[in-house]
Amino acid sequence: MADSSTPINRRSINIVDGKSRAPNRSMFYAMGYEESDFKKPMVGVANGHSTITPCNSGLQKLADAAIEGIEEAGGNAQVFGTPTISDGMAMGTEGMKYSLVSREVISDCIETCVGGQWMDGVLVVGGCDKNMPGGMMGMLRANVPAIYVYGGTILPGRYKGQDLNIVSVFEAVGQNAAGNLSDEDMLQIEKRAIPGTGSCGGMYTANTMSSAFEALGMSLPYSSTMANPHDEKQNSAKESAKVLIEAIKKDLKPRDIVTRKAIENAVAVIMATGGSTNAVLHFLAIAHAADVEWTIDDFERMRKKVPVLCDLKPSGKYLAVDLHQAGGIPQVMKVLLNAGLLHGDCITITGQTIAEVLADVPDVPRADQDVIRAIGKPMYAEGHLAILKGNLSPEGAVAKITGLKNPVITGPARVFNDEQSALQAILDGKIKAGDVMVLRYLGPKGGPGMPEMLAPTGALIGAGLGESVGLITDGRFSGGTWGMVVGHVAPEAAAGGTIAFVQENDSITIDAHKLVLELNVPEAEIEKRRAAWKAPAPRYTRGVQAKFAFNASSASTGAVLDNY
Ligand SMILES: CC(C)(O)[C@@H](O)C(=O)O
Ligand code: FES
Ligand SMILES: [Mg+2]
């Protein structure tokens, strides 16, 4: 870290200083710069604003507030765009295969702009799911002082006395197909579930990742559970810009903050809040970008230690706005810190340690709420993201075990080589209690791009089969998914993993107590099927999908593309 006499344009000086850079400076003059501006830091604003989706359509005001904050604190703001796709809109279609691809594209955008323009720092504004890990990976790869500004959660919709969110609509599809919800009620739910801007409202993927970033120390305290429509979100964006300028002065970089201990803090908060299975995939990739040693087994190590403290959707009662009212992520962190489950000495982007940030937070959650539980009264005594291994997943698979009375099933395999026919089978009533659905060729290489199976898992819940039907896949799940589900099965089918050799009616065991995922078929028979198996032709041979399929590592190492 630097002292106060070091210039704070230590990178952009490469592009604006000395006689030979006169042509480069000419370009800046065209942008309204004055001579004195060349002494100031150039601060990127990676702006995820987009009118594609409510998750991102409320970001411009945050980018504007950040620009104002940067200029007021003596920096030059340089705005550039990052793309998004909307998981909620692409879900269930071939378009969903671009979702994880967009994580790469976003991180590439940030690394490329910060690197090419010698920016001195970067503030990332993001909303929908992949904006989060993509933004963090870009910040870590660029490794210039950086802060994450989350766009904020959505407010709940409302119908017939119930709070609604996007997952209500996915579950309504299954309820309707099972004859338990009228067409009129379904239409009203569809129209009222999403009342405005913000990211999906439960402890789904975007809110999981924002909460984890706060725990990492890369976003301001309380910022990750604020609602997009509320003014405090803008104030926090402006404050984030000011904090970033101070970090630039100190040369406090993302890789100084995102250490192995900081990742343990983030994963502890993911377990305590009952977060999305995607956090496993994304934190493997984030650790890779940070050059921190972190494996899939580290999640299991954390799960055994950390209880689920919060009663949040998908399987629980409350939404992110309720968590915010109840004290937010700092309250969850304070409970964990007091229980010895958080490293208080990790540094945050403010320059304070986690313990300093949490100093004024009450030791015990407020008595007038039941969103955040006290350490002695958890929702579940252990974490909810379990890593299952066995002959179906020697590299690991991820199960989410909240909301289930008994996360154990042995049943006949019902095999699908795509998502759509699996959904159709559920809607047509062809899936029965006791079945174990196998959705395969949907992994990082096979999908490609590992789509999320929210349509089938939501339909199972809606049809009342969440407890009694198992579902395993080499694809991913939404943060809104729950039930007897196991994703990220690795190695994936397209890479010749055992999941490719499952046949209709084979017996499969999911046992989340014993952490086992087994195909109950003799080893010799599996080997025979393996010998007869031929890898399918790639679904894409050009473009980003082909690049992703060719380069992606296994889900068990984060499905990263730069694993050389
Ligand atoms: C549509 C959702 C809820 O955003 C899902 O994509 C997730 O991962 O949480
Ligand atoms: S679809 Fe964007 S956050 Fe859920
Ligand atoms: Mg998602």
What confidence score (pLDDT) does residue 80 get? 98
478 Cβ closer than 6 Å to some ligand 2 atom: no
With the most atoms of ligand 2 within 8 angstroms of its CB, the residue from 50, 55, 211, 278 to mutate is 55
Is 478 known to be catalytic?
A: yes
Residue whose CA lies nearest to ligand 2 atom number 2: 128
Cα of 479 to ligand 1 centre, how many Å? 5
Read off the pLDDT band of 176 (50, 70, 90). Answer: very high
What confidence score (pLDDT) does residue 564 get? 85
What confidence score (pLDDT) does residue 402 get? 86
Catalytic, out of 57, 478, 553, 554: 478
The helix-helix angle for 131-142 and 205-216 (nearest 10°) equals: 30
Read off the pLDDT band of 361 (50, 70, 90). Answer: very high
Instruction: Point out the ligand nearest to the CA of residue 170.
Output: 1
What confidence score (pLDDT) does residue 404 get? 86
Mean pLDDT of 408-435: 97
Cα(393)–Cα(300) distance, integer angstroms? 15
Can you count the helices (H) and strands (E) in the chain? 21, 14
Read off the pLDDT band of 403 (50, 70, 90). Answer: confident
Give the CA dihedral 447, 452, 456, 458, nearest 10 degrees: 180
What confidence score (pLDDT) does residue 4 get? 52
With the most atoms of ligand 2 within 8 angstroms of its CB, the residue from 49, 84, 86, 131 to mutate is 86
Cα 383 from chain centroid (whole Å): 17
Segment holding 397, helix H or strand E = strand 396-400
Mean pLDDT of 475-490: 95
ipTM: 0.99
- The predicted-structure confidence for 222-261, as pLDDT tens digits, reads as follows 999 999 999 999 999 999 999 999 999 999 999 999 999 9
Q: What is the mean pLDDT of the chain?
A: 97
Residue 384 DSSP label: S
Cα(484)–Cα(399) distance, integer angstroms? 8
Contact between 458 and 168 under an 8 Å Cβ cutoff? The reply is no
Cα 259 from chain centroid (whole Å): 18
Cα 451 from chain centroid (whole Å): 13
- The lowest-confidence range among 57-61, 176-180, 215-219, 522-526 is 176-180
Q: Are strands 408-416 and 396-400 parallel, antiparallel or unpaired?
A: unpaired
pLDDT at 6 over 90: no
48 Cβ closer than 6 Å to some ligand 2 atom: no
Q: Which two tokens stand for residue 212?
A: 């984890």
Q: Are strands 516-519 and 507-511 parallel, antiparallel or unpaired?
A: antiparallel
Read off the pLDDT band of 7 (50, 70, 90). Answer: confident
Cα of 519 to ligand 3 centre, how many Å? 28
Cα of 314 to ligand 3 centre, how many Å? 13
- The predicted-structure confidence for 49-85, as pLDDT tens digits, reads as follows 999 999 999 999 999 999 999 999 999 999 999 999 9
Read off the pLDDT band of 5 (50, 70, 90). Answer: low
Q: pTM for this structure?
A: 0.97
pLDDT at 2 over 80: no
With the most atoms of ligand 1 within 8 angstroms of its CB, the residue from 93, 454, 485 to mutate is 454
- Give 449-518 as a 3 state SS string: CCCECHHHHHHHHHCCCCCCCEEEECCECCCCCCCEEEEEEECCHHHCCHHHHCCCCCEEEEECCCCEEE
Residue 31 DSSP label: T
Read off the pLDDT band of 188 (50, 70, 90). Answer: very high
Which single residue is written with the structure tokens 């299975």? 277
